[in-house]
Amino acid sequence: MQLTNNDRKTYADLDRARTRRETGLFMAEGTKCVLDTLNHFSVQRLCATAEWIDRHGHSLPRHVTPVAVKLSDLQRMSHLSTPPEAVAIYHIPHTSLDDDIVNNGLTLLLDCVQDPGNLGTIVRIADWYGIRQIVCSPDTVDVWSPKVVQSTMGAIARVRCFYTALPEFIESHPGLPVYGTFLDGNNIYSETLPVKAMIVMGNEGHGISPEVAAYVSRRILIPSYPPGDATSESLNVGMATAITLSEFRRQLLK
């Protein structure tokens, strides 16, 4: 199957949300990201150099037939500063949120997280701590953007992100406590944390919005050390997510 100029243009344009919506496609770039995701999404096309196909062709799923292209073609399609040797074009999956998982475990809620790198990191952290679903506010960055997909390092194959208004989502699950990090919250290391809960992480610059904060029932704080000393104004949202999920899981495993 030959790669047409229209294909190249479409794939290069997948960094635009409108193009992803219209085509229903997203892109994974680079050997690790491609190989980690090939068995988890419906493949529209796999483009790679002949050398890459020689090295990795034996490990590809049987239903995937790679298209050999020049490195210059990959450079035109890629969104990375250094063009990869392989890119995979996938159909965006249509999945439904599993309420059983929400009601019986931890669910991460993201309130207007806007940096692609942060969202990708959070997806990786969620994957590490066994969080399989993330619920995002509509103004959170699109998980299918190339920068986010790349930042997840393959974790996007195991963690699903859903977009909806967070207040309504919280209201639809009244039996669950809702945790959020605030500067006036209770020390997270002094709290007894539950197995079943929602955990809200806020925007990089403004934290949790007032609209969502109104639904937070348990305000927690990640304390700096030593107490009272001058320190950074705040933690990066990815770091804060890792610390928070780590403490929830530590208490479950102790």
Each residue of 147-201: pLDDT tens digit? 999 999 999 999 999 999 999 999 999 989 999 999 899 999 999 999 999 999 9
Mean predicted confidence (pLDDT) in 128-144 = 97
Dist. CA 36–CA 242, nearest whole Å: 22
Q: Is 96's pLDDT higher than 70?
A: yes
Angle at 21 between CA 20 and CA 24, to 5 degrees: 70
Give helix 237-253 / helix 116-128 axis angle, nearest 10°.
Answer: 10
Percentage of the chain with pLDDT > 90?
A: 85
Could you tell me if 195 and 170 are in contact, meaning their C-beta atoms sit under 8 angstroms apart? no
Mean predicted confidence (pLDDT) in 105-132 = 97
Angle at 136 between CA 89 and CA 46, to 5 degrees: 5
The pTM (predicted TM-score) of the whole model is 0.92
Encode 207-226: b = buried (16+ Cβ within 10 Å), e = exposed.
bbbeebbebbebbbbbeeee
Q: pLDDT confidence of 246, banded at 50, 70, 90?
A: very high
- DSSP character for 222? -
Mean predicted confidence (pLDDT) in 72-81 = 90
